[in-house]
RNA sequence: GGGCGCUUAGCUCAGCGGGAGAGCGCUGCCCUUACAAGGCAGAGGUCGAUGGUUCGAAUCCAUCAGCGCCCACCA
């Protein structure tokens, strides 16, 4: 799809919308993003953290995807066999809840519908909305291999889940047990520890008394969840607590149902806290559960699945929800005079459901499935310690390690319907077995009326297999052989434990190797759910709206610019995206200029002896840019790369590089024009390639107009070594003269501005040579200086030159004289020079003091001392010049 | 309760041992044939506080203050 339009047809403003759609479709059609498993190239692979199938792309995805696409596109240009594998997650709870809500609007409860009909509804929902996020990824420009698109409930991935489960089951790593679980009363399912978010709430701590049943007094206990006292089955004190020595073995009487609760001793009780006595509610508190196990206290489950009071509690509380029950218990204790103390507010952390945000109840929900993590965690810790998995930034490695160290068994059964059903069957004969294929009968006793476990697996159970299940595991596919372990995983830190750590454990266990060699962890964009952050920027930023308005490149640039690995919070504003849009437009217009003078084809650099100093300068700056960008990307610092490109393109290439070529381009000889055009096109073409991973569309759009190849997607990544031979020489040759030229031009422009001298009136400039060699400094850039500063001529005068009617500027200590005639008011300039003299003198004094310091001379490295000497020399030169100028001015003015 | 991070220009952040930087915002001038989504010039900071190490500290160390995040079964 070579672009046929000529430069003249390039509008003055870049228009992203049409270009993006056209280019993306063409890229996919040409198969540029498709990776081959049979390859001689070195593989590079990223698997996309699968977004929820029914989700919409939010700004957090946009960031995550931008980083991945930058790495992917660059790897492709570097010649790797590059695979970015996309896919979506069925997101068990999240999706089920959405569909349930949908049904609720129609007045239907999922239980009425039945499991199969309900699942049909979910699948229909998935078909309807499941593709949306894929389309949105395309709008962003994600260069995924769409031929490999996966979904966690695909046939292949479902089989991977079963194989993994069965293998772990048979290996004793998956077991079934009855323990307290984190129960969400709203979603009515168990959750793993990782799915519980602890948050501070302003609670209350209520202390009340249990009367001893022998009438010899009472025992005070405290709680933040007063309603749980209905399920108390004992009181515990520390075994060594003197205060309760006599109470041990006695009983207290429950004030509402008269049950007698034993007082037991357990070391888990902290005698220093509160009264030193703890009410024990084994069925509703993990610590209490453990105490009960050790001391033999009974379990009393007082909650129903929806967190209302069960029938075991006294009638007056029955059916109340937990909060009403709390109030009611409070009232009744007060009536009975058993309340001792109320502390309110009493801030403490309470677990909340990560999906619906209800308060979690520790609850006995019958038997649940668990993964025993003891044997999994050590290999995973070792892999990080030995560097087989590298975290970027590496401080996450420590968090990872400590999390694994404290990890407890993982509850994987969910009381949901949407998900991978647990592949375990039970037969009336009491046998239990796991199978990859649906069995017809019990393998032990042959009975046919077997029943499958009703629960489904935690979504993260399938997610943990993602880096290899997507590549074909458990089959030994070519994809798996080529691309596993993958190169890098890119993700936010919020799912480091939920997901990343588990992939490492399962990859090591099931395949014997880590799933990825690097984990690039980025910060969080202030997100769409309006989550905290006191300094909220206000409204949610919708990536798609931004793409429509400013273009995908603009959004990508804004995100890339923030994506520094060290940053945890990545604030994004619409102004930032606007800046991205402006940048794209800047590149576009630089290209417009060049395309007016460059005919297309592969640019060729003129031989070095034909290069103007300005061209050598530009080439050496370009060389620095390649090194910076490559270095930044190697270190995973997308931000650094984006900022470096912006600086080079805008402040160096456009502001000076292009401006300095205009003379040759518009007024030069035929050869000068052609050489200048080639140099500019050469730098532009390579710069586009450097920028392409971040801003794929505008770079392709321009690159094709340069007619250097089919697509920039397949172009090679610019070599740092390309100018290795010349760049240092160019830099050395041009650096000092360029800085002088730049300062001179700026000073003259400032002078024009301050005194209203219009750009069109040319100036005959004189430079008083104070030091030898100034002519040599001006020479290489003389024509450029004249053009940019609007000078008709530059001449040199002796240093004592004392003509009147001149304004006197100072450039690097050299007096620069601008003829201004008799009517010109020089007072402003005089003031300016005075101020300049003052600062220069202050700096001079500082340098003198430093060089007069013996310790400095003795201990500072020689190059620092040398630098300081040069600085002092320069300042001396400058102050004496300034004094002289002032004298001249005063003489002329008087 | 444990751990991590942040505090630099009005805003958002780079710099992490040797002369305070960027983007946006602000001020002035300019529709100069690449770009007004632009050009040119400019204003603006005792680098959170205190103490220490050092010839030299925004940069290293300690303490403190404020902010944020992660982890955590103290009623």
Lowest mean pLDDT among A25-34, A48-57, A471-480, A702-711: A48-57
How far in angstroms lies nucleotide B44's C1' from the CA of residue A838? 20
| A10 nearest nt, CA–C1' | B34
How high does pLDDT run on average in chain A? Answer: 86
| A647 nearest nt, CA–C1' | B22
Residue nearest to nucleotide B3 (CA to C1'): A399
How far in angstroms lies nucleotide B74's C1' from the CA of residue A156? 46
**What is the share, in percent, of chain A residues with pLDDT greater than 70?**
96
Q: Which of A238, A219, A367 has the alpha carbon at shortest distance from A291?
A: A238
How far in angstroms lies nucleotide B27's C1' from the CA of residue A223? 62
Distance CA A64, CA A490 (A): 7
| A524 nearest nt, CA–C1' | B69
How far in angstroms lies nucleotide B14's C1' from the CA of residue A639? 10
* 3-state DSSP of A462-479: HHCCHHHHCCCCCCCCHH
Number of Cβ atoms within 10 Å of the Cβ of A351: 19
Q: What is the pLDDT of residue A712?
A: 95
Q: What is the pLDDT of residue A147?
A: 95
How far in angstroms lies nucleotide B60's C1' from the CA of residue A851? 24
Mean pLDDT of the region A26-34: 95
Residue nearest to nucleotide B41 (CA to C1'): A750
| A637 nearest nt, CA–C1' | B14
How far in angstroms lies nucleotide B1's C1' from the CA of residue A272? 15
Q: What is the pLDDT of residue A2?
A: 44
Lowest mean pLDDT among A4-8, A126-130, A411-415: A4-8
Q: Which pLDDT tens digit goes with each residue over A128-187?
A: 888 888 999 999 999 999 999 999 999 999 999 999 999 999 999 999 988 888 888 888
Q: What is the pLDDT of residue A673?
A: 92
Q: What is the pLDDT of residue A6?
A: 53
Q: Are A893 and A830 in contact (CB under 8 A)?
A: yes
Q: What is the pLDDT of residue A142?
A: 95
Asked if pLDDT for residue A463 goes beyond 60, the answer is: yes
Local confidence band at A226 (pLDDT 50, 70, 90 cut-offs): confident
Q: What is the pLDDT of residue A557?
A: 93
Q: Which pLDDT tens digit goes with each residue over A594-611?
A: 999 998 889 999 999 999
Q: Are A554 and A425 in contact (CB under 8 A)?
A: no
Q: What is the pLDDT of residue A531?
A: 39
Q: What is the pLDDT of residue A538?
A: 40
How far in angstroms lies nucleotide B9's C1' from the CA of residue A84? 42
Q: Are A235 and A291 in contact (CB under 8 A)?
A: no
Q: Are strands A486-492 and A516-522 parallel, antiparallel or unpaired?
A: parallel
Asked if pLDDT for residue A554 goes beyond 50, the answer is: yes
Distance CA A447, CA A428 (A): 8
Q: Which of A112, A64, A59, A103 has the alpha carbon at shortest distance from A86?
A: A64
How far in angstroms lies nucleotide B10's C1' from the CA of residue A819? 40
Q: Are A645 and A694 in contact (CB under 8 A)?
A: yes
Distance CA A418, CA A421 (A): 8
Q: Are A726 and A636 in contact (CB under 8 A)?
A: no
Asked if pLDDT for residue A404 goes beyond 70, the answer is: yes
Torsion sign, CA atoms A567, A570, A576, A582 = positive
Residue nearest to nucleotide B54 (CA to C1'): A859
* 3-state DSSP of A201-259: EEEEEEEEEEEECCCCCEEEEEECCHHHHHHCCEEEECCCCHHHCCCCCCEEECCCCCC
Query: 3-class SS at A74?
Result: helix
Distance CA A878, CA A839 (A): 11
Residue nearest to nucleotide B22 (CA to C1'): A643
| A203 nearest nt, CA–C1' | B75
Lowest mean pLDDT among A318-332, A579-593, A814-828, A855-869: A814-828
Q: Which of A560, A579, A556 has the alpha carbon at shortest distance from A570?
A: A560
Token reading at A445: 């006793």
Q: Which pLDDT tens digit goes with each residue over A736-760?
A: 889 889 989 998 998 888 888 877 7
Local confidence band at A533 (pLDDT 50, 70, 90 cut-offs): very low
Asked if pLDDT for residue A308 goes beyond 50, the answer is: yes
Distance CA A679, CA A646 (A): 20
ipTM: 0.93
Torsion sign, CA atoms A793, A799, A804, A809 = positive
- Among A173-187, A411-425, A520-534, the range with the most confident prediction by mean pLDDT is A411-425
Query: 3-class SS at A555?
Result: helix
How far in angstroms lies nucleotide B26's C1' from the CA of residue A859? 45
CA dihedral A121, A124, A125, A126 (to 10 degrees): 120
Q: Which pLDDT tens digit goes with each residue over A673-699?
A: 999 999 999 999 999 999 999 999 999
Torsion sign, CA atoms A851, A841, A810, A805 = negative
Distance CA A247, CA A270 (A): 17
**What is the share, in percent, of chain A residues with pLDDT greater than 90?**
35
Q: Are A782 and A794 in contact (CB under 8 A)?
A: yes
Q: What is the pLDDT of residue A772?
A: 67
Distance CA A332, CA A343 (A): 18
CA dihedral A513, A514, A515, A517 (to 10 degrees): -130
Asked if pLDDT for residue A556 goes beyond 90, the answer is: yes
Asked if pLDDT for residue A95 goes beyond 50, the answer is: yes
Asked if pLDDT for residue A539 goes beyond 60, the answer is: no
Q: Are A49 and A499 in contact (CB under 8 A)?
A: yes
Q: What is the pLDDT of residue A705?
A: 93
Q: What is the pLDDT of residue A523?
A: 83
Burial grade of A359 (CB within 10 A; 0-12, 13-18, 19 or more): middle
Mean pLDDT of the region A73-88: 96
How far in angstroms lies nucleotide B20's C1' from the CA of residue A746? 21
Q: Does residue A302 or residue A770 have the better pLDDT? A: A302
Number of Cβ atoms within 10 Å of the Cβ of A462: 25
- Which nucleotides of strand B lie under 7 Å from a protein CB? 3-6, 11-15, 18-19, 22-25, 28-30, 32, 34-42, 54-56, 67-75
Q: Does residue A289 or residue A612 have the better pLDDT? A: A612
| A843 nearest nt, CA–C1' | B19
Local confidence band at A822 (pLDDT 50, 70, 90 cut-offs): low
Q: Which pLDDT tens digit goes with each residue over A364-403?
A: 877 889 999 889 988 999 998 888 998 888 888 888 888 8
Torsion sign, CA atoms A591, A594, A597, A601 = negative
Distance CA A284, CA A302 (A): 8
- Among A92-106, A218-232, A478-492, A805-819, the range with the most confident prediction by mean pLDDT is A478-492
């Amino acid at each position: 799809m070579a672009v046929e339009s000529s430069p003249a047809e390039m509008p003055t403003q870049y228009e992203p919308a049409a270009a993006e759609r056209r280019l993306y479709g063409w890229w996919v059609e040409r198969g540029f993003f498709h990776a081959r498993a049979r390859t001689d190239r070195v593989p590079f692979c990223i698997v996309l953290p699968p977004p929820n199938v029914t989700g919409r792309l939010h700004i957090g995805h946009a960031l995550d995807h931008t980083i991945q696409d930058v790495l992917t596109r660059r790897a492709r240009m570097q010649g790797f066999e590059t695979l970015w594998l996309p896919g979506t997650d069925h997101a068990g709870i999240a999706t089920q809840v959405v569909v349930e809500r949908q049904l609720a609007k129609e007045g239907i409860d999922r239980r009425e519908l039945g499991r199969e009909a309900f699942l049909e509804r979910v699948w229909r929902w998935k078909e309807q909305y499941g593709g949306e996020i894929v389309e949105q990824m395309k709008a962003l420009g994600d260069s995924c291999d769409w031929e490999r698109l996966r979904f966690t409930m695909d046939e292949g991935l479902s089989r991977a889940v079963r194989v993994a489960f069965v293998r772990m089951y048979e290996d004793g790593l998956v077991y079934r047990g009855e323990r307290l679980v984190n129960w969400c009363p709203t979603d009515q399912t168990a959750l793993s520890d990782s799915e519980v978010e602890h948050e501070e709430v302003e609670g209350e701590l209520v202390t009340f008394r249990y009367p001893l049943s022998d009438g010899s007094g009472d025992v005070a206990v405290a709680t933040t969840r007063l309603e749980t006292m209905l399920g108390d089955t004992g009181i515990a004190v520390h075994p060594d607590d003197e205060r309760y020595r006599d109470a041990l073995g006695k009983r207290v009487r429950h004030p509402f149902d008269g049950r007698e609760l034993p007082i037991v001793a357990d070391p888990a009780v902290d005698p220093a806290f509160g009264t030193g006595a703890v009410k024990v509610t084994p069925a509703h508190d993990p610590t209490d559960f453990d105490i009960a196990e050790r001391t033999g206290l009974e379990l009393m489950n007082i909650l129903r699945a929806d967190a209302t009071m069960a029938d075991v509690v006294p009638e007056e509380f029955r059916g109340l929800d937990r909060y009403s029950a709390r109030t009611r218990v409070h009232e009744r204790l007060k009536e009975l005079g058993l309340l001792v103390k109320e502390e309110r507010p009493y801030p403490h952390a309470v677990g909340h459901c990560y999906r619906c945000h209800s308060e979690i109840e520790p609850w006995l929900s019958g038997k649940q499935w668990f993964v025993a993590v003891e044997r999994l965690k050590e290999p995973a810790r070792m892999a990080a310690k030995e560097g087989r998995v590298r975290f970027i930034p590496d401080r996450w490695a420590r968090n990872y390690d400590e999390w694994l160290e404290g990890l407890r068994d993982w509850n994987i059964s969910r009381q949901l319907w949407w998900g991978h059903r647990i592949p375990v069957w039970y037969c009336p004969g009491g046998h239990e077995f796991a199978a990859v294929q649906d069995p017809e009968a019990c393998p032990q006793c042959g009975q046919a009326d077997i029943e499958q476990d009703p629960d489904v697996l935690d979504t993260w159970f399938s997610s943990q297999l993602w880096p290899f299940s997507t590549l074909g595991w458990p089959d030994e596919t070519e994809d798996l052989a080529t691309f596993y372990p993958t190169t890098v995983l890119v993700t936010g830190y919020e799912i480091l434990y939920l997901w990343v750590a588990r992939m490492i454990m399962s990859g090591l266990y099931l395949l014997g190797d880590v799933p990825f060699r690097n984990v690039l962890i980025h910060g969080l964009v202030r997100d769409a759910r309006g989550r905290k952050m006191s300094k909220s920027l206000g409204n949610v930023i919708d990536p798609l709206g931004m793409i429509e308005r400013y273009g995908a490149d603009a959004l990508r640039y804004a995100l890339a610019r923030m994506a520094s690995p060290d940053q945890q919070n990545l604030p994004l504003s619409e102004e930032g995206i606007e800046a991205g849009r402006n940048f794209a437009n800047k590149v576009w217009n630089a290209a417009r200029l060049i395309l007016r003078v460059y005919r297309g084809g592969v640019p060729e650099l003129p031989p070095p002896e034909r290069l103007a100093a300005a061209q050598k300068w530009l080439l050496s700056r370009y060389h620095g840019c390649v090194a910076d960008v490559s270095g930044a990307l190697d270190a995973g610092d997308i931000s650094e790369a984006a900022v470096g490109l912006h600086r080079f393109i805008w402040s160096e290439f456009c502001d000076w590089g292009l401006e300095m070529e205009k003379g040759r381009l518009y007024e030069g000889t035929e050869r000068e024009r052609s050489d200048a055009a080639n140099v500019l096109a050469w730098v532009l073409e390579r710069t586009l390639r450097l920028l392409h991973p971040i801003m794929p569309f505008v770079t392709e759009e321009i690159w094709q107009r340069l007619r250097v190849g089919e697509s920039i997607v397949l172009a090679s990544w610019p070599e740092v070594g390309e100018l290795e031979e010349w760049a240092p020489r160019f830099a050395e040759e041009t650096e000092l003269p360029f800085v002088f030229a730049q300062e001179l031009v700026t000073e003259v422009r400032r002078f024009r501005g301050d005194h209203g001298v219009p750009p069109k009136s040319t100036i005959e400039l004189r430079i008083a040579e104070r030091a030898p060699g100034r002519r040599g400094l001006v020479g290489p850039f003389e024509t450029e200086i004249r053009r940019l500063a609007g000078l008709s001529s530059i001449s040199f005068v002796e240093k004592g030159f004392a003509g009147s009617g001149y304004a006197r500027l100072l450039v690097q200590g050299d007096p620069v004289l601008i003829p201004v005639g008799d009517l010109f008011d020089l007072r402003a300039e005089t003031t300016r020079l005075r101020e300049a003299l003052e600062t220069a003198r202050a700096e001079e004094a500082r340098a003198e003091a430093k060089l007069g310091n013996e310790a400095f001379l003795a201990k500072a490295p020689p190059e620092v001392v040398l630098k300081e000497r040069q600085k002092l020399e320069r300042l001396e030169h400058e102050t004496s010049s300034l004094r002289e100028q002032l004298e001249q001015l005063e003489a002329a003015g008087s």
